Structure 1
Amino acid sequence: MKAGSAIPLWVVALLAALCLAVLAWTTFGFVVPFKHETGQAVLDTYFAGYDESAVFHMQKLLDENETAAKLLNAMYFGPELIFPALLTALLFLVFLRLGPVGSWFGRSLHPLAAKAIYLLPFIYGISDYGENISSLIAFDNGASEGLAMHLLPWMTRLKFASLAICFIVAARLAIARWLSPREG
């Protein structure tokens, strides 16, 4: 029996379903109405990244459109409070379920490197929450908005980069597990 097989598949499936439900809530409850209201996408959805000028433009847009500002605030205090935690838990459980990290790459890894791979989902979660906090500060017209405006594009890039790395590692692990000889 492999180390990760103790995690029931139904737990992973339930977390995946919850992630999809919250993602649908975010998309259809906030992202689509925001785009309809402003003609512009929420910065959180810019997969390729953006720069500080986009943040400045969004800040100006939110200052002029109270409905859009309320939508964005509600998104951050609604589904965006729980989605990063759900997705982090899902990714972590997927990594655990795929088995011992030392055997993932067909050779033994340094124990510290093997354990560091399990941190990847948490890097995603922390960066997603960091992006959300930076957005709230940058668009609040408070004292720290300048720093938040500089950090926001980097937090978004870190979020999507770490998420992409998690998906690549999980796919690699699933393929390696599928191709590995079965233990009897």
Structure 2
Amino acid sequence: MNAGSRIPLWIIALLAAICLGVLAWTTFGFVVPFKHETGQAVLDVYFAGYDGLTVGRMQRLLGENEIANSLLQAMYAGPELIFPALLTALLLLVLMKLRAGGSYFARPISPALIKLIYVLPFVYGLADYGENIASLIAFGGSAWADPAAELLPWMTRLKFASLAICLIIIARFAIVQAMHRGDGER
């Protein structure tokens, strides 16, 4: 019996609902008020990435606007403290439920590649936490603010790249699994 087959679907659905709840808390409790207060979005939502100049502008903005700075600090102490772990767990459970494996272009997927697939959610989680820590340091005015500001765009890119790869892999295995179920019913 495969480990993925023992994961009840209701657990995945519950975890997805909790993730959506925390995402709504982040969005409506912090991201929207931050945009209303400053006219700018928090850097965490820049899907296409950003550069050092954007980080510098945000540092100046947060230095001048105490409300925006408080919102950002509260976001990292609240929902952003748990969301990366929740989404990492959700991605991993979905991958386990889909039982990554099988073949690719009529060749079996190597066990090393399957292990790499299961590591991807952790790459996302570590990159998201790294981005949060770099943000706290870069916008906190410490002596490490400049190195953290340089690291911040790279952590965001790694976070979104690993998340995108996870979602593509999940879609691929879901489609393959649905196709095999369709073949088995005929």
State the 1:90 CA deviation.
Answer: 0.2
State the 1:113 CA deviation.
Answer: 1.6
How do 1:46-65 residues align onto structure 2 when only pairs under 5 Å count? Answer: 46-65=46-65
Code of the residue aligned with 1:161 in structure 2: it is A
Q: Please, what TM-score do these two structures have when normalized by structure 1?
A: 0.95
How do 1:73-88 residues align onto structure 2 when only pairs under 5 Å count? Answer: 73-88=73-88
What is the RMSD computed on CA atoms of the aligned residues?
Answer: 1.4
State the alpha-carbon separation in 2 of the partners of residues 104 and 13 from structure 1: 27
How do 1:32-181 residues align onto structure 2 when only pairs under 5 Å count? Answer: 32-99=32-99, 101-103=100-102, 105=104, 107-180=107-180, 181=183
Task: Give the length in aligned residue pairs.
Answer: 182
State the alpha-carbon separation in 1 of the partners of residues 107 and 7 from structure 2: 24
Does the aligned pair in 2 maintain the 1:138–1:144 contact within 8 Å? yes
State the 1:168 CA deviation.
Answer: 0.4
Could you list the runs of 4 or more consecutive aligned residues of structure 1 that deviate by over 3 angstroms after TM superposition? 104-107
State the alpha-carbon separation in 2 of the partners of residues 2 and 24 from structure 1: 34
State the alpha-carbon separation in 2 of the partners of residues 6 and 182 from structure 1: 21
**Alpha-carbon displacement from aligned partner over 1:33-76 (angstroms, at most 9, x marks no partner):** 00000000000000000000000000000000000000000000
Residue 8 of structure 1 aligns with which residue? 8
State the alpha-carbon separation in 1 of the partners of residues 17 and 75 from structure 2: 20
State the alpha-carbon separation in 2 of the partners of residues 71 and 3 from structure 1: 41
Q: Please, what TM-score do these two structures have when normalized by structure 2?
A: 0.94
State the 1:102 CA deviation.
Answer: 2.7
Q: Given the superposition, is the C-alpha separation of residues 146 and 33 from structure 1 closer, same or farther in structure 2, using an over 3 Å criterion?
A: same
**Alpha-carbon displacement from aligned partner over 1:153-178 (angstroms, at most 9, x marks no partner):** 00001101110000000000000000
State the 1:182 CA deviation.
Answer: 3.6
Code of the residue aligned with 1:166 in structure 2: it is C
**Alpha-carbon displacement from aligned partner over 1:3-41 (angstroms, at most 9, x marks no partner):** 522100000000000000000000000000000000000
* Long gaps (5+) in structure 1: none
